[in-house]
Structure 1
């Protein structure tokens, strides 16, 4: 265990979530998908469509593990097919899937992401449930350069399973007490990081449910202050 002069654990790397933390979830492509689903199904409320989509996504990710692992592309296919039955979706499913793939690459970065990547004093490792090919292209699209990208496909498990975080520790060469994990989801990022004994930081850019048991920030720039140029608070 490495400690600074004040006896605090030295932070040697930062792990950060991709969708919802580094890049937005509501890019142009996703808005187009939601609009088409609303116009061509029994569900006409955009918020209801998004709620149903994320509910199904979480269900598939929770049950997708090891021998039962499904890629995000396979999950998207299954969800789209289920919507045909569940809400009588009448659409070109291939076109919708292409738009969703494009959103994984082209969704805009949050305004604070570029500054964070430029000023972070330690290496940044991207951790994502998305396939690595999409995250790599997304980083190139945003001109952001993480030290490495660790994706669910590599361990056949999604967050909050600890395998994804443990692989990131292996790749970074750091101990669990030498990194922070930044994410926007309590259930995926906070609980997943804790499962691997990593200190989580929850990003809540807008008002929502509050959590008293985790360090919370509204902006990635706040994490720079937490790092204190190499030391955690």
Structure 2
């Protein structure tokens, strides 16, 4: 059995910000010049990803900074009269009080080994979210701590160094194939994919539908 669990947070323990993003996109559509509403999400995501992938080391910027910058560029591109600060604050409000998946608290209570949260988020925001839901992880490691975002290896390496654990002693749980599964695998950490939408499972990937099913995998036997 593994000695510890690393676990993603948004999309794995609590809900992602998809609903908030839809509402913001609608407001951009209503206040801008847009032919197809789907163009908004595509452009916004591309702007965020471009900045996100280059944000590490000396070029690191926080999630809040990256989200605000990408949203502001999106508003300008679509000639929207909406206020970037007001819209981005809606997203930040979600980050500190996100809805939690129903089995998450039970997972933390049942886990026979220490659970460490490893997340692409700013430290202050995730600490508020953890406190809001009364969760008690053994530790929290964020992109802000490592000055790097998953799927880059630095955040996983930072978590391993901080806990004194080797990659073989840990299993990482997350909902993103790229950030969590491929990112953890890049440093030799076994990973379990939380596949809540019953998507097709790639060969060689350990997949479960919810957190409690993780206990049925070989990592806990």
Secondary structure of 2:113 counterpart = coil
Output the CA distance in 2 between the equivalents of 1:71 and 1:44. Answer: 32
- CA deviation profile, 1:116-173 (whole Å, cap 9, x unmatched): 1111111111111110100000011111111111001111110011110111112222
Q: Displacement, 1:28?
A: 5.8
Pair 1:105-2:96 in alignment: yes
Gaps spanning 5+ residues in structure 2: where? Answer: none
Secondary structure of 1:15 counterpart = strand
Output the CA distance in 2 between the equivalents of 1:93 and 1:42. Answer: 16
Name 2:33's counterpart in structure 1. 42
Output the CA distance in 2 between the equivalents of 1:50 and 1:204. Answer: 23
Q: Displacement, 1:81?
A: 1.9
Output the CA distance in 1 between the equivalents of 2:135 and 2:33. Answer: 40
Name 2:56's counterpart in structure 1. 65
Output the CA distance in 2 between the equivalents of 1:191 and 1:27. Answer: 22
Secondary structure of 1:136 counterpart = helix
Secondary structure of 1:104 counterpart = helix
Q: CA RMSD in A?
A: 2.0
Output the CA distance in 2 between the equivalents of 1:120 and 1:48. Answer: 42
Name 1:217's counterpart in structure 2. 208
Q: Is the 8 A contact 1:129 1:158 kept in 2?
A: yes
Q: Could you state the TM-score of these two structures normalised by the residue count of structure 1?
A: 0.87
Q: Could you state the TM-score of these two structures normalised by the residue count of structure 2?
A: 0.91
Q: Displacement, 1:226?
A: 2.1
Name 2:24's counterpart in structure 1. 33
Given candidates 175, 181, 196, the residue that maps to 2:172 is: 181
Q: Is the 8 A contact 2:198 2:209 kept in 1?
A: no
Name 1:5's counterpart in structure 2. none
Going from structure 1 to structure 2, the CA distance change for 1:221 and 1:61 (only over 3 Å counts) comes to same
Name 1:4's counterpart in structure 2. none
Pair 1:166-2:157 in alignment: yes
Taking the TM superposition and a 5 Å limit, the aligned residue runs for 1:84-103 are: 84-103=75-94
